[in-house]
């Protein structure tokens, strides 16, 4: 827009030069018009760095005086009128709206020396041209601002899209990490304990060692099934086995590993969303793994409670010595994963351990 106004200024000067060249007194109007051209080009480029300051007001005042001088010395030429159009447009870029209105109102006063009728006619015409120039310039300024804001909004949207993609990737990585820890880690822990038990009785009681190794083999096969289940989950396949049945199998595995475990179901069993079902299953899996690894318990219990509407609760209880610091919440990935799963669904997790009296892991999720 600044370049366009500079071109209009030069065009106004050429128009004025054509009007006055050939007349006897052309030197003065061209000299004054040249001063206006310098002000409207070089001066405007400098003062446009300080919009709304005293420099801008001084620029408009000097521009009005030069405009009056050009118009008067050139005999009310068309070029002089175009200089006023340039000044009004530049004022829109430099001054607040009330100041622009003052400039527009002062422009027609250049016809004050004419007869009333002619002055009124010419003044109204010049006022209309000044108002048109001000409105058009303001619309162009707003359109430019709108484009800039739109480009900024597009840039922010692109940034948000990148951030959303990163968050989705991080969330998926965390989910896969939880699956590996809660699923494969659980199964390998059981295999490790069974192989350790088999080695302990291998020389003294081969038949019993063989039975324990058979259980370890079964558990290894279960670990392989768990890997396949995780891959199926990544492909958005959710098994339809009821949660109590899955937990019953989990209790049997823990009992076979040396810690007798019972499952209790309170209330009427109902279908759960896949995410809620997964969260409760992983909580039971991790809780029983911690019981075997840390609690030193003689028995454990799974309690699944459907009695409250809109909410399902799972508790993993044991009669051990209480979980040591190494397995306490915040010290490992297992319980942290349980807490994250529950929180993601709008649920919650709590853990309580009393030395010598065992521990209780409680998870509640909507469902």
pLDDT in tens, 287-333: 888 888 777 888 899 999 999 888 999 999 998 877 654 444 444 56
Task: For 350, list phi and psi in degrees, rounded to 5.
Answer: -140, 155
Confirm if 183 and 190 have CB atoms less than 8 A apart: no
Looking at the domain assignment, is residue 19 inside a domain?
yes
Q: Which two tokens stand for residue 56?
A: 């801008």
pLDDT score, position 326: 41
Q: Which two tokens stand for residue 97?
A: 């709206």
Looking at the domain assignment, is residue 39 inside a domain?
yes
The residue among 55, 81, 113 that closes a domain is 113
Confirm if 286 and 186 have CB atoms less than 8 A apart: yes
Low-confidence ranges of the chain (pLDDT < 70): 22-25, 169-170, 172-188, 190, 194, 201, 203, 222-240, 323-333
Looking at the domain assignment, is residue 77 inside a domain?
yes
Q: How many domains does the chain have?
A: 2
**What is the DSSP annotation of 23-42?**
BTT-HHHHHHHHHHHHIIII
Looking at the domain assignment, is residue 263 inside a domain?
yes
User: What are the tens digits of pLDDT across the range 27-41?
Assistant: 788 888 888 889 888
Of 164, 140, 215, 365, the closest CA to residue 275 belongs to: 365
pLDDT score, position 129: 86
pLDDT score, position 362: 92
Confirm if 54 and 92 have CB atoms less than 8 A apart: no
Looking at the domain assignment, is residue 122 inside a domain?
no
Containing structural domain, residue 30? 2-113
Looking at the domain assignment, is residue 150 inside a domain?
no
Looking at the domain assignment, is residue 366 inside a domain?
yes
User: What are the tens digits of pLDDT across the range 21-79?
Assistant: 766 667 788 888 888 889 888 888 898 898 889 999 999 999 889 888 888 887 777 88
Of 63, 126, 127, the closest CA to residue 93 belongs to: 63
pLDDT score, position 238: 44
Strands 300-305 and 348-354, by their bridges, are unpaired
E-only strand ranges, the chain: 261-266, 300-305, 311-318, 348-354, 358-366
| Domain CATH number, residue 320 | 3.30.565.10
The residue among 76, 97, 113 that closes a domain is 113
pLDDT score, position 204: 73
User: How far is 184 from 230, CA to CA, in rounded Å?
Assistant: 9
The residue among 113, 131, 146 that closes a domain is 113
User: How far is 80 from 258, CA to CA, in rounded Å?
Assistant: 104
Looking at the domain assignment, is residue 135 inside a domain?
no
């Amino acid at each position: 827009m600044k370049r366009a106004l500079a071109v209009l200024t030069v065009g106004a000067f050429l128009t004025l030069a054509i009007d006055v060249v050939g007349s006897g007194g052309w030197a003065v109007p061209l000299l004054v018009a040249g001063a206006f051209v310098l002000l409207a080009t070089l001066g405007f480029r400098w003062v446009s760095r300080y919009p709304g300051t005293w420099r801008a007001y001084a620029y408009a005042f000097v521009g009005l005086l030069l405009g009056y001088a050009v118009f008067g010395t050139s005999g009310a030429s068309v070029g002089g009128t175009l200089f006023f159009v340039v000044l009004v447009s530049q004022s829109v870029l430099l001054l607040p709206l009330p100041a622009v209105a003052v400039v527009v109102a002062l422009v027609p006063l250049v016809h004050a020396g004419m007869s009333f009728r002619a002055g009124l006619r010419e003044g109204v015409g010049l006022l209309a041209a000044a108002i048109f120039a001000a409105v058009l310039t303001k619309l162009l300024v707003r359109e430019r601002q709108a484009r800039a804001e739109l480009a900024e909004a597009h840039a922010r949207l692109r940034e948000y899209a990148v951030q959303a993609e990163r968050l989705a990737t991080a969330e998926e990585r965390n989910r896969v990490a939880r699956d590996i820890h809660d699923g494969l880690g659980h199964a390998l822990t059981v295999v490790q304990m069974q192989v350790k038990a088999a080695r302990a009785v291998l020389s003294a009681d081969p038949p019993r060692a063989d039975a324990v190794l058979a259980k370890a083999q079964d558990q290894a096969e279960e670990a392989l099934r768990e890997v396949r289940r995780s891959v199926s989950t990544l492909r958005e396949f959710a098994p339809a086995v009821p949660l109590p049945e899955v937990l019953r199998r989990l209790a049997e595995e823990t009992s076979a590993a040396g810690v007798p475990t019972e499952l209790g179901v309170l209330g009427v069993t109902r279908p759960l969303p896949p995410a809620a079902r997964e969260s409760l299953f992983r909580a039971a899996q991790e809780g029983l793994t911690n019981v075997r690894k840390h609690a030193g318990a003689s028995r454990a219990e799974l309690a699944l409670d459907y009695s409250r509407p809109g909410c399902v609760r799972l508790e993993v209880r044991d009669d051990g010595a209480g979980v040591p610091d190494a397995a306490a919440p915040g010290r490992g990935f297992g319980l942290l994963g349980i807490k994250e799963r529950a929180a993601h669904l709008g649920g919650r997790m709590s853990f309580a351990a009393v030395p010598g009296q065992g521990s209780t892991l409680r998870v509640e999720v909507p469902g």
